[in-house]
Structure 1
Amino acid sequence: QEILENSYQDVRNKLAHELLSQVMNSSPEFFERLVVDLLVSMGYGGSRSEAGERVGKTGDDGIDGIIKEDKLGLDTVCIQAKRWQNTVGRPEIQAFVGSLAGNRARKGVFITTSRFSREAQEYVQRIEQKVVLIDGETLAELMIDHNVGVSDESRYIVKKIDMDYFEE
Structure 2
Amino acid sequence: MTGSQFEHLVAERMIAEGFRRVRERGRAGDGGVDITAVAPGGTPYAVQCKRYSRTVGAPEVRNFLGALANTFAGHTGVLVTSGRLTRQARTEASNARQPLLLIERDQLADWLIGRTTLTPQRVPPPMAVEGDELAG
Query: 1:104: how far off?
Result: 2.7
CA distance in 2 between partners of 1:77 and 1:85 (Å): 25
| SS of equivalent residue, structure 2 residue 113 | helix
Kept in 2: contact 1:78–1:105 (CA 8 A) = no
Q: Which residue of 2 aligns with 1:54?
A: 24
- Counterpart of 2:103 (choices 114, 134, 142) is 134
Q: Which residue of 2 aligns with 1:107?
A: 76
Q: Tell me whether 1:82 sits opposite 2:57 in the alignment.
A: no
**Number of positions where the alignment pairs a residue of Structure 1 with one of Structure 2:** 114
CA distance in 2 between partners of 1:144 and 1:58 (Å): 30
Letter in 1 for 2:88: E
Which ranges in structure 1 are unaligned for 5 or more consecutive residues? 1-25, 46-50, 147-168
Q: Tell me whether 1:93 sits opposite 2:93 in the alignment.
A: no
* 1:124-149 deviation per Cα after TM superposition (whole angstroms, max 9, x unaligned): 22221101110122111211236xxx
Which ranges in structure 2 are unaligned for 5 or more consecutive residues? 116-136
Q: Tell me whether 1:122 sits opposite 2:97 in the alignment.
A: no
In terms of fraction of residues, the more strand-rich structure is 2
* 1:62-118 deviation per Cα after TM superposition (whole angstroms, max 9, x unaligned): 1100011236xx531100001111100111001001111212333110001000111
Q: For the aligned residues, what is the CA RMSD? A: 1.7
Q: Which residue of 2 aligns with 1:65?
A: 35
**How has the CA–CA distance of structure 1 residues 70 and 42 changed in structure 2, closer, same or farther, with 3 Å as cutoff?**
closer
| SS of equivalent residue, structure 1 residue 145 | coil
* 1:28-65 deviation per Cα after TM superposition (whole angstroms, max 9, x unaligned): 111111111112222333xxxxx311111011111100
CA distance in 1 between partners of 2:24 and 2:55 (Å): 24
Give the alignment's TM-score, normalised by structure 2.
Answer: 0.76
CA distance in 1 between partners of 2:54 and 2:38 (Å): 30
Give the alignment's TM-score, normalised by structure 1.
Answer: 0.62
